[in-house]
Amino acid sequence: VLQAALSLLNASGSALLPDPRPRAARCARCAVVGNGGILSGSSMGPAIDGHDYVFRVNGAITEGFERDVGSRTSFYVFSTNTMVNSLHSYAKDGFQHPPQTPETRYVFLPDHDRDYLLLRAALSHQRVDSGRDKGVWPQQFFGQDLRVGKFRMLHPDFIRYLRNRFLRADVLKTPLWQLYRPSTGAVMLLAAMHTCDEVSAFGFLTPGYRAYSEHYFDRRHKEMQFFINHDLRMEMRLWQRLQRSGLLRLYTGTEGT
């Protein structure tokens, strides 16, 4: 399955996250947008859309929230599992499918055979032919434009590098280590930092998270929840260190003002 899927991911730009840019192009400025409630009422939409590339993840709802989160999506980052879970969890909030614009590229984070099965189905313009998603049309997720240039997949070795170098949670030292995964948002942000010249992060966890709802699109206030499969507090401390080092611009709302 893996080889069959990757053999189809053979466009000249498949090895690069952004499409090739002219040599004389200026530095690539990227906005990486999480779904945190800190963005509610932020009016950061124009600033986000003003970047060269905009990354989004999971329940990336923009319609109705453009003033706060913008409308552009250059890269939608997901695993099939996180995407399908988001579609189920946030349907009532307006998340019907991932962004489907001419600009959007779909970046798989492979952690299961269902990622390779869905990628193969998309690139061969067929239904998923086996597994838990058998019979699903990829068009329902990605729209009708299923050209190979619309898709990317991060290498599993790169994801392991990010985990081992930046995202080593304490739970990895316990018998529950197999449950741990870096959050999709964390992988997205670190991948952007390895790709772009300048990175600004919006909607990520900050020390003042208790003042905000879990998501910017929540209709009622929801307390932030923490589970053992992710270490969001460890990720938050990493974002703080990267900001202090001048490597990342992190939107913190009114914290510290």
The residue count for the chain: 257
**Ordered DSSP codes for 49-112:** HTSSEEEEESS---TT-HHHH-S--SEEEE-HHHHHHHHHHSGGGT--SS---TT-EEEE---S
The pair of three-digit structure tokens given for residue 86, joined into one six-digit string: 């988001």
Surface-to-core class of residue 71, CB atoms within 10 Å of its CB (0-12 exposed, 13-18 middle, 19+ buried): middle
The pair of three-digit structure tokens given for residue 53, joined into one six-digit string: 């590339």
pLDDT of residue 18: 81
CA–CA dist 40, 68 (Å, integer): 6
Q: What is the pTM of this model?
A: 0.94
Per-residue burial over 128-143, b if 16 or more Cβ lie within 10 Å, else e, is beeeebeebebbebbb
pLDDT of residue 257: 41
Interval 203-242: pLDDT, tens? 999 999 999 999 999 999 999 988 888 999 999 999 999 9
The pair of three-digit structure tokens given for residue 35, joined into one six-digit string: 């779904």
Q: Which residues of the chain have pLDDT under 50?
A: 257
Interval 6-23: pLDDT, tens? 888 877 677 778 876 666
pLDDT of residue 23: 61
**What residues does each domain of the chain span?**
2-8+27-250
Q: How far is the CA of 184 from the CAs of 45, 171, 181, in angstroms?
A: 22, 17, 8
Q: Give the 3-state secondary structure of residue 201.
A: strand
The pair of three-digit structure tokens given for residue 36, joined into one six-digit string: 């945190």
* Contact by Cβ (8 Å): 171, 180: yes
Class of domain 2-8+27-250 (CATH, top level): alpha beta
pLDDT of residue 22: 61
Sign of CA dihedral 111, 114, 117, 123: negative
The pair of three-digit structure tokens given for residue 74, joined into one six-digit string: 């250059």
